[in-house]
Amino acid sequence: MKISEIASIIGAKFNGEEFEVTGMNTLKSASKTELSFVSNSKYISDIKNSQARVIIVDAKTEKYVPTDSIALVVESPYWEMAKLSKYFAPCIEDDNLPEPKIGEGSKVSPRAEIANGATIGKNCTIMAHVYIGANVTIGDNTILYPSVCIYRDCKVGSDCIIHANSTIGSDGFGFATSKQGEHKKIYQNGNVVIEDDVEIGSSTAIDRAAFGTTLIKQGVRIDNLVQVGHNCVIGEYSVLVSQAGIAGSTIMGRNVVMGGQSAISGHLEVAAFTTMAARSGVTKSIKESGLTFAGFPLMEHRLWLKLQAKLARLVK
Amino acid sequence: MKISEIASIIGAKFNGEEFEVTGMNTLKSASKTELSFVSNSKYISDIKNSQARVIIVDAKTEKYVPTDSIALVVESPYWEMAKLSKYFAPCIEDDNLPEPKIGEGSKVSPRAEIANGATIGKNCTIMAHVYIGANVTIGDNTILYPSVCIYRDCKVGSDCIIHANSTIGSDGFGFATSKQGEHKKIYQNGNVVIEDDVEIGSSTAIDRAAFGTTLIKQGVRIDNLVQVGHNCVIGEYSVLVSQAGIAGSTIMGRNVVMGGQSAISGHLEVAAFTTMAARSGVTKSIKESGLTFAGFPLMEHRLWLKLQAKLARLVK
Amino acid sequence: MKISEIASIIGAKFNGEEFEVTGMNTLKSASKTELSFVSNSKYISDIKNSQARVIIVDAKTEKYVPTDSIALVVESPYWEMAKLSKYFAPCIEDDNLPEPKIGEGSKVSPRAEIANGATIGKNCTIMAHVYIGANVTIGDNTILYPSVCIYRDCKVGSDCIIHANSTIGSDGFGFATSKQGEHKKIYQNGNVVIEDDVEIGSSTAIDRAAFGTTLIKQGVRIDNLVQVGHNCVIGEYSVLVSQAGIAGSTIMGRNVVMGGQSAISGHLEVAAFTTMAARSGVTKSIKESGLTFAGFPLMEHRLWLKLQAKLARLVK
């Protein structure tokens, strides 16, 4: 997309030489031909290390943009980024991609839909009413039960099992909101990567990243009706019990256990070998590994037991 | 359905002139040719303003029925209404309806099922394994991802996106229960209407109304795995975060925000611009707009923070 | 499977006469030709009453195995059982089974997939994109809405309704975990049985048993987005409101009511006519029938109200 078009769409001034912007990304991940944005003053410190060629900012933030990057100045960078995200979204299906490749020994139901550009490994079982989108890759020996839906550009490893009616790669819950309270969709142009030996239950939802990847690492076990928000990283061998939910951009270490109906807020870190009892609610990062928590607000499990004993006495 | 048949099915006496009852509805919404019922003494005051031609009541309530309406007297009006609801239910599919109409520029997967009587607007994308029931209407530019299911008689506006494996218009959770503890289904003969510019996540369930309409107003954003009960109204630009749940007949103003795993009981009102933190539980109507709540039982967010601080001190 | 092969797979010594092991089961349910295991010292007392021909045990437990059973001694019986479970798993689909039988008057969408070996009764409605696995039986007058998935070997009774995108018989959440934190799947070789007159909402998940049956008894009503774990028994006419969750092996009496977002831990008993308010969390068995509970930890509803009143006073 041409820089002049971009400036025009978002109503920013641009008088420099024309060039092609190849994509949109976060300050940290943007390449030298990409565009980024600063939506919040807490990210100002990321500007100087960003490689982004173009940065959308408000007037107050313009001064932090290094001289070798181009600042496009607007009133509401987040809103304008949302507006632009649509232009960088790939089409849902792309008939120009090559026919799907199916590995030896794989059984693909004639009632499954495999989009062009998809690649399925060896000895997979792809059951009826499965949807596999454009450019999706699936490893070897993986089983997709009926009505599993995998959106375009996602990757599923080898030896995985995904149960019926689960969705991999639906759009993360992202939008900008105007002062009048109207919402504008932020197109979710990232993907989901599921590594090897992962099992996912039925009617679970794993959202694609806004930028980059939502990552489910090797050996993870996810139960039914679990929500994994965009840009999360679920550490190796972690276990997410039924109806657990994780908001966006939270990063877990390995062997984290989330009990049933537990939840973690967005943008947190959870140390390896953390255990959360059923219905825990995590709102702050957990730095020390190997501990067991419970409650909402969260506390160490032994404290929670003590608190509940005290509360029980209140009504005796 | 003839009044004499109705009386016979529910075991009520009727000696008047025969006529056709055209439908079944609440006291407030019933038209002059429809039937209604009083299942609970708190609705007695609605009888005198009801236009219903026929009202099913118990013996104690008969005296409140105006002389220009017909009272059918039974022991358990709610149970008999449930029994009758089946007779007013439309068939699931109707081959006599006209072939579906698909607007110009719309891409409908050959693997989607579009029932007779459905109408799809222009430039829509209807993906594989979508089901669109009888008489459903879809506006322009709307995207339905794989395995979305829209039950008969529902309406989806323009510029909407519904993600994979979500269900619009499944039956509300309605039944009468006998003294012996057996249940009789109340057929859900209403529908769901989704206005323009609404986005709905994956594996979300929005139930059709028992009578009338479950309404999702313009600009609403609904995340994955959310439950919206029958006869709810979700105000414009409201935001329902993942795993939130709303019981039946609750009415929200505009720009209400429900955090993840929060919940609202049935038959409540929630004022515009109300924010509920994650896992809030609302059991009473919220009359004042613009406030932020948390906890279960619900309290203002600042009080909840104070309470949690006090509780934390109990175990130190 | 031959006993010598089994011993070889799990690395146990076996010098006796060769014979065929017909299946794998719990100590209580194993027949005289089956294999079982002791994974936890609390089940030692079950050994002497078990009919199992072969029992996998660790060295400490070997002495409890009666002389007419064969003990296979390993370091980690649970891990080895998980390893073996794969060999006893039936294939997902079996083309050698007879063509499906469809009863008179049943309407099966040409877009539904009915596997070989399935039997559908009379006057059923099987809608588009439904999947019915091998050996599944469906009674009469049952309605399966679009994208319902019923895994192999499950049974659904007569006069049932299952709403769109629900999954019956997906694998229970079972695995053994090594000391290094790696997981090995326990194949779920049981099934789900749904008796007559059961209604199940949309995007609900009912897991198949590890061994034996997950049982949903007559007249049960299950709402949307509900989780029922493997090996549960839901008593007659019980009501599970939206987003409720039940972990594995819990057994309920009749007419139990679970409010929205409530939960029950695994391996518990819940007495008949128990009512749990919305968001109750049950972690101990409920022995007395007819009571109403709330809260997490659970308490009688009247105590919960009292406690909440006291807590509210803390912040006034």
For residues A32 and A138, state if they share a domain. no
Q: Is B308 on the interface with A (CB under 8 A)?
A: yes
For A273, the closest chain C residue by CA position comes to C181
Check CB contact under 8 Å for A202 and C247: no
What pLDDT, on a 0 to 100 scale, did the predictor assign at position B224? 98
Identify which of A129, A170, A183 has the shortest CB distance to residue B224.
A170
Three-state DSSP class for B62? Answer: helix
User: What value of ipTM does the predicted structure carry?
Assistant: 0.97
Whether the pLDDT of residue A194 is over 90: the answer is yes
In this predicted model, what pLDDT tens digit does every residue of C131-143 receive, in sequence order? 999 999 999 999 9
The full 3-state SS of chain C, as one line of letters, equals CEHHHHHHHHCCCCCCCCCECCEECCCCCCCCCEEEECCCHHHHHHHCCCCCCEEEECCCCHHHCCCCCEEEECCCHHHHHHHHHHHHCCCCCCCCCCCCEECCCCEECCCCEECCCCEECCCCEECCCCEECCCCEECCCCEECCCCEECCCCEECCCCEECCCCEEEEECCCEEECCCCCEEECCCCCEEEECCCCEECCCCEEEECCCCEEEECCCCEECCCCEECCCCEECCCCEECCCCEECCCCEECCCCEECCCCEECCCCEECCCCEECCCCEECCCECCCCCEEECCCCEEHHHHHHHHHHHHHHCC
Asked if the structure places residue A311 within a domain, the reply is no
Residue A17 domain-assigned (yes or no): yes
Rounded Cα gap, residues B221 and C97, in angstroms: 47
- Distance from C-alpha of B212 to C-alpha of B172, rounded to nearest angstrom: 12
C41 shares a domain with C187: no
In the predicted structure, residue A211 carries a pLDDT above the cut 90: yes
Measured between CA atoms, how close is A129 to chain C, in angstroms? 6
Q: Is the peptide bond before B297 cis (omega within 30 degrees of 0)?
A: yes
Q: Does C311 touch chain B (CB under 8 A)?
A: yes
Listed residues B43, B71, B88: the one ending a domain: B88
Per-residue pLDDT tens over the stretch B137-187: 999 999 999 999 999 999 999 999 999 999 999 999 999 999 999 999 999
Statement to judge: residues A151 and A186 lie in one domain:
yes
Interchain proximity B247–C261, CB inside 8 Å: no
Task: For residues C96-114, give the mean pLDDT.
Answer: 97
Question: Are residues A24 and A136 both part of a single domain?
Answer: no
- Residue-wise pLDDT for C164-203, tens only, equals 999 999 999 999 999 999 999 999 999 999 999 999 999 9
Same domain, B171 and B297: yes
Residue A144 lies in a domain: yes
d(CA B183, CA B177): 4
Put simply, whether C145 touches B (Cβ < 8 Å) is yes
Active site residue ranges of C: 230
Asked if residue C126 lies in contact with residue C144, where contact means CB atoms within 8 angstroms, the answer is yes
Q: For residue A175, what pLDDT is reported?
A: 98
Chain B residues in contact with A307 by the CB 8 A cut-off are 311, 314-315
From A111, A175, A310, residue closest to B314, measured CB to CB: A310
Rounded average pLDDT over C100-119: 98
**Chain A to chain C, count of Cβ pairs less than 8 Å apart?**
126
Q: What is the pLDDT of residues C200-217, one digit of tens each?
A: 999 999 999 999 999 999
Residue of B113, B177, B203 with shortest CB distance to C203 = B203
Q: What is the mean pLDDT of residues A194-201?
A: 98
Is B170–C223 a contact, with Cβ atoms under 8 angstroms apart?
Answer: no
* Co-location of C84 and C110 in the same domain: no
- A293 part of a folded domain: yes
Q: C65 falls in which pLDDT band (50, 70, 90)?
A: very high
A213 conformational bin, left if phi > 0, alpha if psi -120 to 50, beta if neither: beta
Give the domain CATH number at C16. Answer: 3.40.1390.10
Check residue C94 and give its pLDDT.
87
Quick check: B165 and C203 CB within 8 A? yes
Interface test with A, best of B130, B223, B316 (most A CBs within 10 A): B223
The number of C-beta contacts closer than 8 angstroms across A and B is 126
Query: In terms of domains, do A162 and A217 share one?
Result: yes
Q: Which of B290, B228, B278 lies closest to B253, judged by CA?
A: B290
pLDDT at C88: 96
Q: What is the pLDDT of residue A41?
A: 87
Residues A53 and A105 in one domain: no
pLDDT tens readout for residues A8-55: 999 999 999 999 999 999 999 999 999 999 988 889 999 999 999 999
For residue A110, the distance in angstroms to the closest alpha carbon of chain B comes to 11
> Does residue A60 fall inside a structural domain?
yes
Interface check for B151 against chain C (CB to CB < 8 A): the answer is yes
Domain total in chain A: 2
3-state helix, strand, coil in chain B (%, to 5): 15, 30, 55
State the smallest CA–CA distance between residue A129 and chain B in angstroms.
6
Do A226 and A117 lie in one domain? The reply is yes
Q: What is the pTM of this model?
A: 0.98
**How far apart are alpha carbons C33 and A290 in whole angstroms?**
43
Tokens of A167: 């969705």
> Environment class of residue C103 by beta-carbon count within 10 Å: exposed (0-12), middle (13-18) or buried (19+)?
middle
Angle (deg, nearest 10), helices A301-314 and C301-314: 100
**Chains linked to B by 3 or more Cβ pairs within 8 Å:** A, C
Instruction: Clarify whether residues A188 and A116 are in a common domain.
Output: yes
In Å, how far is A61's CA from the nearest CA of chain B? 29
Q: Percentage of chain A with pLDDT > 90? A: 96
Catalytic position from the list B163, B183, B230, B301: B230
Position C315 scores a pLDDT of 86
What residues in C contact A308, CB-CB < 8 Å?
297
- pLDDT digit string, tens, across residues A228-275: 999 999 999 999 999 999 999 999 999 999 999 999 999 999 999 999
Are C48 and C64 in contact by the 8 Å Cβ rule? The answer is yes
Q: Is position A42 within any domain? A: yes
Cis peptide before A66 (omega within 30 of 0): no
pLDDT at B40: 87
Say whether residue C64 is in contact with chain A using an 8 A CB cutoff.
Answer: no
Q: How far apart are CA A156 and CA A137, in angstroms?
A: 6
Domain boundary among B53, B88, B123: B88
Is C68 a domain residue? yes
Within-domain flag for B255: yes
User: Measured between alpha carbons, how far is B120 from A154 in angstroms, rounded to an integer?
Assistant: 29
Looking at residue A119, which CATH number applies to its domain?
2.160.10.10
Confidence of residue A95 (pLDDT cuts 50, 70, 90): confident
Chains adjacent to C (≥3 CB pairs closer than 8 angstroms): A, B
> Residues C79, C115: one domain?
no
Query: What does DSSP assign to residue B7?
Result: H
Question: What range does the domain containing A185 cover?
Answer: 101-304
B161 touches chain A (CB under 8 A): yes
Q: Chain A: nearest CA to C266, how far in angstroms?
A: 11
Nearest to A315 among C111, C185, C303 (CB): C303
What pLDDT does B94 receive? 87
pLDDT at C227 over 90: yes
Q: What is the pLDDT of residue B158?
A: 98
Same domain, B83 and B171: no
Using CB atoms, pick whichever of C107, C145, C254 lies closest to residue B149. C145
Strand, coil or helix: B229: coil
Q: What are the average pLDDT values for consecutive 10-residue runs of chain B, which has 316 residues? A: 96 95 95 94 92 96 94 97 96 92 98 98 98 98 98 98 98 97 98 98 98 97 98 98 98 98 98 98 98 97 95 88
Task: Compute the average pLDDT of residues A60-66.
Answer: 95
pLDDT range class, residue A3, cuts 50, 70, 90: very high
Last residue of a domain, one of C53, C88, C123: C88
What was the pLDDT predicted at C243? Answer: 98
